[in-house]
Structure 1
Amino acid sequence: MATNNNEVVVDEIHMAINNDESADTERSNLSENLVEESFGNDSDEEMVDSDKIRDTAKLLLRKLPSKFLLQYEDDMFLLFDYDENDDDNESQENDNDSQNSYPIICEDIDACHESFKHLLIVIRKFIQGYYNGVTLGAKEIVISIPILDLIIYEDNMYNDQVSFNDLETIFQTLRKRSLIEKEDNIPKYLSGVITTRPRFVSRYNTLVELTEGSATLKNIKPFFNDEDNPVVLDDEDEQPEGSKNEKDNNDGIAILDD
């Protein structure tokens, strides 16, 4: 907008400013015309483009997590859906796992930013639903990730401080260095194994119950205080006969860690 004495130029529109009351009316009308003209210039195509930009930004922020393959018993699962285009050509040609053919444990990809405390809740619910009402109530979920030499225990108090993205960042950083060093047997993605074990609190409560009955130390098998021979507790004599088979299937042992 340019001003010259009593003349105002707005987008090449010239308007004389009068000293009488009609000037206010003319300025008001001009403002309304400019506003209408401004909105009129926003074509439908431009508005669609803006929507596309916003949608693209959302997709970038919601980029699919990296591949993480988990085994439970004899079945394989994906923790999250993943983008197969992230796999290199060799992986796509030689690795059948590059096909998204496995059941997905966590459908919400935003959960990759959540802590493992949250993810383990999701994994527990998935297992119990996938295996038709299998109950893990007295069992603690354990996830072993061999390539990182890392074991995640469901009841670990630090689970709420580590996310999947944290582990993925560590893995990718170390993997890139391994590729530079041309090391052998470099994995293309993270993989782990899900197992279960008796929960400490559950086993502890069982021991408390033993003290309230007629049990003695004979109900606890001899143990050695080292890692290769963990503490083994046996309260089989206190269980009803019908529950013996269930106990045998669940191994009935507790490993007490620090």
Structure 2
Amino acid sequence: MTRIALGLEYDGSAFAGWQSQAHALGVQSVVEAALSRIADHAVHVTAAGRTDAGVHAVCQVVHFDTTSSRSERGWVRGTTAYLPAQISVLWAREVPDAFHARYSAQARRYLYVILNRNARPALAAQRVCWVRDPLDTARMQAGARHLLGEHDFSSFRAAQCQSRTPLRRLYEIQVQRRGELVLLTVCANAFLHHMVRNIAGVLIAIGTGERSPEWAAEVLAARDRTRGGVTAVASGLYLAGVRYASALQLPSEPADILGGVAGSS
């Protein structure tokens, strides 16, 4: 039995999230079906993180066990051939038996893409969060700085979140403008359900001038979801990469995390 890790890119618009579901199409079930054809046996994959309905991935990492012998190129090209256009295998690597896509991860990075212009999007409608009012990224960055470090993120946690603890450590949070796009990147040891989308909701309110940058600290300190802002739409959210021990040499944190985002040029 050999353990293989895969990097996946997908447009989540057509799927009910990552996880396989009885009455809806999840990315997981489609990937497992394609891999099973290449492996010539049933394959179950485990992901680094479960993305919600409508959420995309620049680089999702999964692992699976197989008795089949295939080259890394064979896993990539063969599996992709059986996948719909919205999903692509980026790379494949044989990994140690102890490797676990979720539990071996040291950090995860998400990207939230906001299209900030007066006209609503057409080409990128399912790939961005559209905000018509002008956003002040300096104010947003000032608010974001209050969230760095280890905190109780209960105020940014969905009611249905099943995590045993609301404690998370944010290593990096950055807001920058690239033309009409406002990009929020967040790197943490792990994330709560809807955490990035709730952070985006708070920072958008700060960016429009509706709230002050200090409001982010007030929301965090309240440890109460009802004190936060709206949950930003799923279409702007991308799982941008997963960090593992350098010894594994997995290409799981793309240098260009905007590579698959429509309108990023």
Higher relative contact order (CA 8 A, sep 6+): 2
Q: Of Structure 1 and Structure 2, which has the larger fraction of its residues in strand?
A: 2
Q: Of Structure 1 and Structure 2, which has the larger fraction of its residues in helix?
A: 1
- The alignment's TM-score, normalised by the length of structure 1, stands at 0.25
- The alignment's TM-score, normalised by the length of structure 2, stands at 0.24
- Structure 1 or 2, whichever has the larger Rg, is 1
